[in-house]
Amino acid sequence: MLTQDLMREVRRLQIRTRRRVNDLFAGEYHSAFKGRGIEFAEVREYEPGDDARTIDWNVTARAGKPFIKRFVEERQLTVILAIDASASGLFASTGRLKSTLASELGAVLALAAARNNDRAGLLFFTDRVERHVPPQKGRTQVLRVLRDLIGFEPISRATDLRVPLEHVTKVHKRRSIVFLISDFAQPAEGSGGFAPTLRRAAQRHELIAVRVTDPREHDLPRAGLVDVLDPETGRRELIDTSSSRVRAAYHARAAAHRAAVAAACRSASCDLVDVSTARPFVHDLAVYFERRERRR
C-alpha cells in the first residue's frame, strides 16, 4: 500500500523525468534499440518514391498494377533495470547522492520503455538480489517501478556485481536489454572480480553498463586530515589530503580502476556509459543513444 507521502514523491519523480523522456529520449531510445525483426503489415498500391524492391509481384500480376508489401518493426523488447542499492551509493560531494542519480536515471529509462510499449523490469541488488520486479508492460508496471525507485530500502550494505549478472542469466531466458546501473566499485579481475560473469551474461543479453560516479571519487581536495569511512565495510581511515603524494596516489588508483572496468566492458562487448553527480545525466544518455543508432 502506498502512503500519501510516497505517492506524492512518485508523482514528483514522474513529472521530473517525463519531461526528459518527452524532450530527448522518445525518438532516440526507439531508434537506438531496434526490435527483434519486422513483420508483415499490409499490401498497398505502389506510390512514386516507394522502394521497388518491396513490390509484391504476385499481387501486382493479379491486379494489373503495382502493389508493394509494407512491413512494421516488431519490437517486443524487454528492458531490465539492474540497480546497485549498496551503501556506496549514499555518497555525494555535489549535493546529489549517487543513489538519487541512479533512481532518476532508472525512472527515465522505465518511462522511455513504456512510451515505446516495451516491457520493463527492475532488479535491486547489493551482494544479494534485494528485489526483483518481473518485466511487464503498462502504466501500472511503470508506477510500481517508480514507487520502488523512491521507497526501496535494502537489507545489505555490500556489493557483488556477480549477483545481478548471474540472476539475469539464469532467470531471464529471453534475450533482454539490461542496464546495469552501479558505481562499479568492485574489482573487475582477480579473485572476486565481476569480469568473467559479465562476459557470460553478455552472451545471453544485451548489456549496457551505466557507471555512476562523483568527482571526489577521482580526485581528493586539499583539506588536511580527513577521516574517511567505507560505507559498505565500516572501515575507517585517516587520510592526509595535504600531501601531494597521497593525492596523486589516490588519483592514480582511481584512474586504474576506471580503466579496468572499461577494459572488462570492452572484453564482454558491453557498452559503458559514464554519468556523474556533477552534471545532468540527460546529455550523457542522449549522446550514447545517438552513438548507438549510428553504429547500427
Q: Read off the pLDDT of residues 143-162 as tens digits, 9 standing for 90 and up.
A: 899 999 988 999 999 999 99
How far is the C-alpha of 82 from the C-alpha of 125, rounded, in Å?
7
Residue with the larger pLDDT of the pair 255 and 42: 255
The fold adopted by the segment(s) 4-31+77-295 is: Rossmann fold (3.40.50)
Nearest to 19 by CA among 295, 245, 282: 282
**Identity of the highest mean pLDDT range in 4-13, 42-51, 217-226:** 217-226
Confidence of residue 282 (pLDDT cuts 50, 70, 90): confident
What percent of the chain lies above the pLDDT cut of 70?
86
Confidence of residue 75 (pLDDT cuts 50, 70, 90): low
Cα angle 139, 98, 205; round to 5: 55
**How do 78-84 and 177-182 pair as beta strands?**
parallel
pLDDT (0 to 100) of residue 290 = 85
* Span of 11-20, 129-138, 277-286 with lowest mean pLDDT: 11-20
Residue with the larger pLDDT of the pair 107 and 295: 107
How far is the C-alpha of 296 from the C-alpha of 294, rounded, in Å?
6
How far is the C-alpha of 231 from the C-alpha of 192, rounded, in Å?
19
Helix runs in 90-161, H state only = 98-115, 139-151
Average pLDDT over residues 47-73: 85
How far is the C-alpha of 193 from the C-alpha of 262, rounded, in Å?
14
pLDDT (0 to 100) of residue 40 = 61
For residue 166, give Cα distances in angstroms to 86, 181, 193.
17, 15, 13
pLDDT (0 to 100) of residue 219 = 93
Residues 6+ apart with CB under 8 A from 158: 86, 87, 126, 127, 232, 233
What percent of the chain lies above the pLDDT cut of 90?
57
pLDDT (0 to 100) of residue 1 = 41
Average pLDDT over residues 193-204: 96
Domain boundaries, given as residue ranges, for the chain:
4-31+77-295, 41-74
Query: Dmax over Cα atoms in the chain, in whole Å?
Result: 87
Nearest to 47 by CA among 71, 66, 69: 66
